[in-house]
A and B are shown apart, each in its own frame.
Chain A
Amino acid sequence: MRAAKSAYPLTWRIMDALEAFAAFVWPARFGRAIPWLMLAPALLLVGLLVLGLWQIGDVSLRTLDTSTFLMSEAYTLANYQRAFTESLFAVVAWRSLAGSLIVTVVTLTLAFPYAYVMVRTSSPTTRKLLLIALFLPFFIGQVVRAYGWLIILGNQGMVNEALGLVRIAPIRLLYNYWAVLFGLVQYMLPFAVLMLAPALTAIPEELEAAAGSLGADWARTFRHIVLPLARPGLVGAGLVVMTLSLTDFAMPAILGGGSQDFIANAIYDQFFRTSDQGLGSTLALLLVAAGSMLVGLVFTLFGAGTLAVGRARR
């Protein structure tokens, strides 16, 4: 008895039972459906977002009755008309759009050399240090990082204390447009570098050496070999940085101090200050549409870049 037990251990028996159970509830002839069964939970979870968008669409078609504070029963397009005609929203939209463009250009310019050095360096220690310096802020979160900038840039912050030592009057560094953009660039850098790095790894180092041996100096090699070949990475990184900064909430809220609202802040205010869910939903839906159009435009113009998922084409 003992011998038999060790020859056919308990775990095997459990596996046998599980296999039999699996074969019973899911016979082999259903095999084609297995991938869909495995995908189902993910499809359902993401379905929550689709349901949410549907709900936003529904609410956006109702107006707020300011005397009873109830949403109207009948559908109307009044909210959309307000969103497109009121100048406040145009100002906020332009501020966000221009801001995200500037942030994208600056972030990519800073991230590209960093990613390049990180990928090409021959020293494993340097590489590891650069990676750690990248992941630490990435893992710390936006609020804490913004708090750090408040300490540095505040009216009694480090920079102004240092200026005071050389008798320069304090400068108001926070709560303006540039502070928000500065915070956004810092927030976006890890995303950008992490999207660029795989694309740079894919460029064979020999190509650069070949260009060099044909007489190109390093600036020309960079311009004509590395940059064009890194395009998938630049597209992916640019798109991520652009959409994330266009729709950001925390940096404008904390470093802008309420005077530099981006679209997300305007939406939040509609929900929680004015309590006008209808108009807030309208703005949210318009932002989703604008974001999707941006993604679609970039994809059709430049291809999916490093954002493409799925099986490697064999």
Chain B
Amino acid sequence: MTAPLSKTIVLWIFVVAVLVLLSAPTIVILGASFTSGNIITFPPEGFSLKWYEKIATSRDLWDAFLRSLYVSAICTIVAIPVGTLAGIVLAKYAIRFEKSVQIYLLLPFTIPLIGSGIGLMLIFGEARLLGQLWPVGLACCVINLPFMIWAVIASASSLDPDLELAAASCGAPPLSTFLHVTLPAVMPGVISGSLLMFILALNEFLVSLLLTDARIVTLPVQIYNSIRSIITPDLAAISVVFIACAALAIVLLDRLVGLEIFLKSK
């Protein structure tokens, strides 16, 4: 079936508009990071790597970046077992109060981020945990947990329950069945979910802003603080680090599970 020309034109006008809207900041940041001028202008005044040199020697920025990586690592390490087990249960077991459990586990999405952040700030404050980094990672894990659970549910639902019964009838004890049949089947979900958790925690801004103090800011907070004082191209260069991380995550996601997985209907 070939689409009428008018349809193609109208649709592509929208698509191109959205493409420009989506990509403009990324492209501009990439361009600005290579400028040799001091203020950001476009087109860039000459090509230079001096801003990369500057960030490479800036301890503040690197420390903030390492802290962000640490937070993301904590978030992902917690999210993998927690989200995988919960996702498998929700996808495969009939349990009592199933609806209530589902609604409860969606709370991180229904409670506004500022609410979750303030609440966690208050209870971490009571527990004297503020000023450390791992609670930030834990917080990032809580607020994004539904992503992990969704990803696991998506691949667990496609596992035929008969396979697990077959394993059991061949004499596999429960743990072996779980490790050799269930777990490999949900692996694509676990991989895409944990990649998502890592990259979202790396970029998490508001919750980091609330839970960190001046000594332990993460990179997004560091950038936010610098934006408000003065705009210099070294920020563009450090933003390119984020762009590179995002690109890496996309390549990994595509290689490991395929981006098209997000188009599948449930």
Given contacts A117-B11, A140-B203, A201-B264, contact A311 B90 (CB under 8 A): yes
Q: With a CB–CB cut-off of 8 A, which chain B residues contact A271?
A: 118
Determine if B185 is an interface residue (Cβ-Cβ < 8 Å). Answer: no
Determine if A173 is an interface residue (Cβ-Cβ < 8 Å). Answer: no
Interface residues of B in 80-131 (CB under 8 A from A): 81-83, 85-86, 88-95, 98, 101-102, 104-116, 118-123, 126
B134-149 interface code vs A (CB 8 A; 1 in, 0 out): 0000100111011001
B1-36 interface code vs A (CB 8 A; 1 in, 0 out): 101101100111011011101111110110010000
Chain B: interface size category: 35 or more
Determine if A306 is an interface residue (Cβ-Cβ < 8 Å). Answer: yes
CA distance A225 to B175 in the complex (A): 48
CA distance A202 to B92 in the complex (A): 23
Q: With a CB–CB cut-off of 8 A, which chain A residues contact B102?
A: 309-310
Q: What residue in chain B is nearest A201 (Cβ atoms)?
A: B265
**Cβ-neighbour of A156 out of B4, B6, B41, B138 (below 8 A):** B41
Find out whether the CB atom of B42 lies under 8 angstroms from the CB atom of A310. no
Find out whether the CB atom of A139 lies under 8 angstroms from the CB atom of B120. no
**Cβ-neighbour of B104 out of A46, A185, A284 (below 8 A):** A46
CA distance A100 to B113 in the complex (A): 15
Interface residues of A in 93-150 (CB under 8 A from B): 110-111, 113-114, 116-119, 127-128, 130-150
A238-267 interface code vs B (CB 8 A; 1 in, 0 out): 001001001101100110000000011001
Find out whether the CB atom of A143 lies under 8 angstroms from the CB atom of B220. yes
Find out whether the CB atom of B223 lies under 8 angstroms from the CB atom of A147. yes
Find out whether the CB atom of A312 lies under 8 angstroms from the CB atom of B25. no
Given contacts A140-B203, A186-B21, A198-B264, contact A50 B107 (CB under 8 A): yes
CA distance A117 to B200 in the complex (A): 27
Interface residues contributed by chain A, number (CB under 8 Å):
105
Show 11 residue pairs from A and B whose CB-CB distance is below 8 angstroms, ordered by the A residue: A42-B86, A113-B18, A114-B15, A142-B220, A151-B236, A154-B231, A157-B40, A158-B42, A194-B262, A291-B111, A311-B98
Binding site for A on B (CB under 8 A): 1, 3-4, 6-7, 10-12, 14-15, 17-19, 21-26, 28-29, 32, 39-42, 78, 81-83, 85-86, 88-95, 98, 101-102, 104-116, 118-123, 126, 138, 141-143, 145-146, 149-150, 153, 157, 173-176, 179, 199, 202-206, 209-210, 220, 223-224, 227-228, 231, 235-236, 239, 242-243, 245-247, 249-250, 253-254, 259-260, 262-266
Binding site for B on A (CB under 8 A): 15, 18-19, 22-23, 35-36, 38-39, 41-43, 45-46, 48-53, 55-56, 59, 110-111, 113-114, 116-119, 127-128, 130-152, 154, 156-158, 161, 185-186, 189-190, 194, 197-199, 201-202, 205, 209, 212, 217-219, 240, 243, 246-247, 249-250, 253-254, 263-264, 267-268, 271, 280-281, 284-285, 287-288, 291-292, 295, 306-307, 309-312
10 A-B pairs closest in CB distance = A52-B119, A148-B25, A141-B203, A139-B246, A247-B112, A113-B14, A42-B86, A202-B265, A38-B85, A264-B114
